[in-house]
Structure 1
Amino acid sequence: MAVPVQVTFDAADPEALGRFWGEVLGYVEQPPPEGYASWDAFLDSIGAPPEDRDSTYAVIDPDGVGPRLLFQRVPEGKTAKNRVHLDVDVGAGLDRADRPARCRQRVAELERLGATQLRVFEGEEGPGSFWIVMADPEGNEFCLQ
């Protein structure tokens, strides 16, 4: 049996970065626990201090297939290349010839949300291979393919 995983991002602004990744992946904000109308109601019930209430943010796959993404506030910024990154398959189901145009279209959309295009790789893994390396608003690299 497979073991469920969560992907955790360190962040300066957990909610802003979480909302960005929600847009990238079509994820939604994780709802509060059952029985609570809001996250504030839940946090009140467990005595969470006000200064800690924006220290984490989570998004989930509305279809329940993909992993939960958790964003946690850390004091330091990103200082080196990611050791792990996400490959976002924006061209899934398209013919290989149509994938670059879809990737470029998605780059433009994500740049409007604060992402940065870093590099384009075409033909690196053989004829027809294509991907674009991006950075999210806090500098974490990911690939569009």
Structure 2
Amino acid sequence: MAASIDLTLDCTDARLLAEFWKTALGYVDEPPPPPFRTREEWLAQFDLPEDDSVDDGAWLCDPGGVGPRLSILKVPEPKTAKNRLHIDIRLPVNGGAEDRWARIKVEAERLVRAGGMVVAEVDEHHIVMADPEGNEFCVAAASASV
């Protein structure tokens, strides 16, 4: 059996990024692990500093159970350089190159309204974007083999 992965984004505002990524991916808040009823109960088991709060993190999941879980955690230091790993949002698209590019552009516009920003358009193939805290990601069409 293959290992699974979770992705973690460092941030300064976990709530802001959680809302953006829920919009971008269609993810939902992940429930706390059993037997805990709330994230507050779950966090209470850890010896966290007094100034840590449940708002310092967000845990998201694909409601269909297919995509990786996404943890968004507040850290004290700011982002200082380009991500070494980034997320690609792959869109299902039917049709030719014009249809794919039009769908990618519409999705990028939707994500700009949600707080993202366009960094670059690459040869009518994909759009490089950044989330509200500057984490880079790409919007592209899913390949036929995906």
TM over 0.5: yes
Pairing partner for 1:139 from 112, 134, 145: 134
My pick for the range that moved more, 34-43 or 20-29, is 34-43
State the AA in 2 paired with 1:23: T
My pick for the range that moved more, 38-47 or 102-111, is 38-47
What residue in structure 1 maps to residue 112 of structure 2? 111
What residue in structure 2 maps to residue 65 of structure 1? 66
1:57-96 matches, within 5 Å, as 57-90=58-91, 92-96=92-96
How far 1:96 sits from its partner (Å)? 3.3
How far 1:67 sits from its partner (Å)? 0.6
Q: Percent identity?
A: 42
Distance 2:96 2:84 in 1: 28
How far 1:77 sits from its partner (Å)? 1.2
How far 1:40 sits from its partner (Å)? 2.6
What residue in structure 2 maps to residue 5 of structure 1? 5
Distance 1:35 1:61 in 2: 21
Change (3 A) 1:46 1:24: same
Distance 1:49 1:75 in 2: 13
Contact 2:93/2:100 (CA < 8 Å) preserved in 1? no
What residue in structure 1 maps to residue 28 of structure 2? 28
What's the RMSD between the two structures over aligned residues?
A: 1.9
Runs of 4+ in 1 over 3 A off after TM superposition: 41-50
Distance 1:50 1:15 in 2: 19
Q: Secondary structure at the match of 2:122?
A: strand
Q: Secondary structure at the match of 1:94?
A: coil
My pick for the range that moved more, 34-43 or 54-63, is 34-43
How far 1:106 sits from its partner (Å)? 1.1
How far 1:48 sits from its partner (Å)? 5.6
How far 1:37 sits from its partner (Å)? 3.4
Q: Secondary structure at the match of 2:4?
A: coil
TM-score (norm. length: structure 2): 0.84
Structure 1 unaligned blocks of 5 or more: 124-129
